[in-house]
């Protein structure tokens, strides 16, 4: 459902609250919105599973990046994941200001073989996916729902940083070749968020152009980083993970106004440049 925005959030200087500010997306959002008055909160400042602290000044905009992201852990602690992703979003929405809620490809079953559009029926197969979908509903009507996938950045824990570490330690790594998606650089997603908040409240698919398997992504990482590590294909079933993964989670937008992100290869190169700049 789409709602016409009357808040004109992007048309004036504003106070921006970033939840999950210590995470990879939170870092990128802080850079993208550096010209605004930013308040960043992470778990130590505000566990969003609880009501907002009394000292928190009401913002003009919330960028809600805080989330339970442990996909397998959610299977073992479904109540914890729900408190964080659904209850936490309800608490953020209770601030009464427009918010951007970052959702996931996991809200879909992954059984399609063509890109998922905003109008496609959801059907999460994991606890994590169900709680992210529940968070979309908890965000309320004054929200931009931004679905993205396979996020990576220069900070935090993500596939790219894991591959860089393993590629420097090993001659070969095994990576699944039966999942396909759009590796999305958080720096590009954060910049796109500035354009999203100029659009009507609605759901938007914002993921990198192009698609690949995790194996192909690993190979590209090693190639761009100049690491000689080989990549051996393996199957998702061989990993015996508690949570099912979408086999196909390519996201595309059917809305012409949705910002288009660069190709995932461009995001990879930009991220590696950022890592070099940060000396990590």
Give residue 279's pLDDT. 82
Angle between helices 24-32 and 186-196 (to 10 degrees): 50
185 belongs to the catalytic site:
no
Query: If you average pLDDT over residues 193-211, what whole number do you get?
Result: 98
> Over the Cα atoms of the chain, what is R_g?
18
Contact 139, 90 (CB under 8 A): no
In angstroms, what CA-CA distances link 146 with 118, 134, 217, 251, 270?
A: 10, 14, 23, 11, 22
| Confidence at 119, pLDDT banded by 50, 70, 90 | very high
| Confidence at 204, pLDDT banded by 50, 70, 90 | very high
pLDDT tops 90 at residue 9: no
Torsion angles phi and psi, residue 107, rounded to 5 = -75, -10
Give residue 223's pLDDT. 98
The domain segmentation of the chain, as residue ranges, is 9-158+183-209+249-261
Contacts 24+ apart (CB under 8 A), 218-224: 218/159, 218/163, 218/173, 218/175, 220/265, 220/268, 221/160, 221/163, 221/164, 221/167, 221/268, 222/163, 222/167, 224/265, 224/268, 224/269, 224/272
pLDDT tops 90 at residue 11: no
Convert the pLDDT of each residue in 15-64 to its tens digit.
999 999 999 999 999 999 999 999 999 999 999 999 999 999 889 999 99
Query: If you average pLDDT over residues 81-91, what whole number do you get?
Result: 98
Convert the pLDDT of each residue in 131-190 to its tens digit.
999 999 999 999 999 999 999 999 989 999 999 999 999 999 999 999 999 999 999 999
| Confidence at 6, pLDDT banded by 50, 70, 90 | very low
Convert the pLDDT of each residue in 249-258 to its tens digit.
999 999 999 9
Helix, strand, coil shares, percent, the chain, to 5: 35, 20, 45
Query: If you average pLDDT over residues 82-90, what whole number do you get?
Result: 98
The answer for residues whose C-beta is within 8 angstroms of residue 245's C-beta and 6 or more apart is 71, 110, 126, 179, 236
Average pLDDT, the chain: 95
Q: Which one of the listed residues 102, 106, 128, 248 is annotated catalytic?
A: 128
Q: Could you tell me which CATH class the domain 9-158+183-209+249-261 is placed in? A: alpha beta
Contact 196, 163 (CB under 8 A): no
Give residue 14's pLDDT. 85
Helix (H, G, I), strand (E, B) or coil at 104: strand
Query: If you average pLDDT over residues 238-247, what whole number do you get?
Result: 95
Distance from C-alpha of 187 to C-alpha of 152, rounded to nearest angstrom: 9
Q: How many CB atoms lie within 10 A of CB 38?
A: 17
Distance from C-alpha of 199 to C-alpha of 208, rounded to nearest angstrom: 19
In this prediction the pTM is 0.94
């Amino acid at each position: 459902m789409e709602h016409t925005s009357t808040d004109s959030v992007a048309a004036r200087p504003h106070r921006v609250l970033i939840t999950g500010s210590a995470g990879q997306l939170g870092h990128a959002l802080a850079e993208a919105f550096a010209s605004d008055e930013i308040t960043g909160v992470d778990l130590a400042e505000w566990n969003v599973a609880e009501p907002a602290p009394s000292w928190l000044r009401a913002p003009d905009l919330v960028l809600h990046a805080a989330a339970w992201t442990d996909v397998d852990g959610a299977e073992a602690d479904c109540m914890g994941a729900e408190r964080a992703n659904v209850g936490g979003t309800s608490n953020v929405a209770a601030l009464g200001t427009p918010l951007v809620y970052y959702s996931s490809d996991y809200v879909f079953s992954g059984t399609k073989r063509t890109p998922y559009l905003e109008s496609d029926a959801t059907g999460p197969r994991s606890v994590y996916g169900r709680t992210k979908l529940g968070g979309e509903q908890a965000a309320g009507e004054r929200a931009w729902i931004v679905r993205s996938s396979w996020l990576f950045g220069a900070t935090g824990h993500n596939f790219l940083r894991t591959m860089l570490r393993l590629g420097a330690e090993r001659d070969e790594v095994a990576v699944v070749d039966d999942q396909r998606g759009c590796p999305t650089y958080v720096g590009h997603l954060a910049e796109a968020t500035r354009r999203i908040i100029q659009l009507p409240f609605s759901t938007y698919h914002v993921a990198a152009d192009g698609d690949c398997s995790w194996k192909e992504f690993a190979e590209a990482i090693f190639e761009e980083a100049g690491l000689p590590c080989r990549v051996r294909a393996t199957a998702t079933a061989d990993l015996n993970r508690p949570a099912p993964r979408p086999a196909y989670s390519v996201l595309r937008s059917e809305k012409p106004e949705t910002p288009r992100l660069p190709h995932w290869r461009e995001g990879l190169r930009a991220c590696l440049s950022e890592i070099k700049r940060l000396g990590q």
